[in-house]
Amino acid sequence: MRKKLQIACFCILAVYALVMVFVMPSTAGSVCCTGTTVNIDDSTDYRFVNRMDILKYMNSANINPNGLSYKNINLHEMEKKIAEIPFVNKAQCYKSPGGLLCVDINQRKPILRIKTPTQDLYLDSEGGLMNISTAFSAYVPVLLSEKTLSKKYLKTDIYEFANYVYNDKFLNPLVEQIYIDINGKVEMVPRIGSQIVVLGSTEGYQKKMARLKKLYESGFSKVGWNKYKKIDLTYDNQAVCTRN
């Protein structure tokens, strides 16, 4: 008896699955979009855009889906359009069974602010340059330069160094400012202590940062943070400290 009941249940489920395969596509196509819901994934960390910004843009770009049949909504095209917003890194759009179109937004992540005589912008986590926002200021290290820096230099040398610092658990909270003088010499200002860290250039930055970390962890923790006014890491295998 139990075996017959199991077979009957299996047959019912199989028939139901077949019905869903053939019926659901036509049903989904007949559903009309009744509204749009926007979710900003990383809104607690960054506030470059909000829900209303996205909805207004969708109206102005003629991609507002409200009132359209699901079958007439091109999700891929909508995602491409929304991703054109300067502060948006990625958009994912999908249709809910109830008629709501859902938009998930991932914002661009700045890792460095750049200020030169002619530039004021961010460098993001993927090496892209992004404009400053009037709505939100990111808490990231600031690069100050006495001269205008080329986009190529910013997207290569500076990005590699800044990204290394950003992803290092020790260096990320340590570095407050990077300074480049008129001759291109690179210096760094830490958040703790009163010293200037001289790098010379970003070439060999990994070894230079390793020496700096070792100095902070095993040296300054014993003698104090404010005993030296300058740490020079310009030359290989050296960390030359100048007393106050």
Residue 194 pLDDT > 70, yes or no?
A: yes
Find the helix or strand (DSSP H, E) in which 91 lies. strand 88-95
Q: Quote the pLDDT of residue 200.
A: 95
Q: Quote the pLDDT of residue 218.
A: 79
Q: Using CA atoms, how far apart are residues 148 and 131, in angstroms rounded to an integer?
A: 16
Residue 172 pLDDT > 60, yes or no?
A: yes
Backbone angles phi, psi at 88, to 5 degrees: -95, 130
The reply to whether 110-243 shares the fold of 31-107 is no
Q: Provide Rg for the chain, Cα atoms.
A: 27
Note the CATH number of domain 31-107. Answer: 3.10.20.310
Mean pLDDT of 184-193: 92
Q: Which CATH class is domain 110-243?
A: alpha beta
Mean pLDDT of 17-42: 69
Q: Quote the pLDDT of residue 15.
A: 44
Provide, rounded to the nearest whole percent, the portion of the chain with pLDDT above 70: 85
At 180, is the pLDDT very low, low, confident or very high (cuts 50, 70, 90)? very high
Residue 83 pLDDT > 60, yes or no?
A: yes
The domain locations on the chain are: 31-107, 110-243
Q: Quote the pLDDT of residue 12.
A: 52
| DSSP per-residue letters across 116-171 | -SS-EEEEETTS-EEEPPSS------EEEESS---HHHIIIIIHHHHHHHHT-TTH
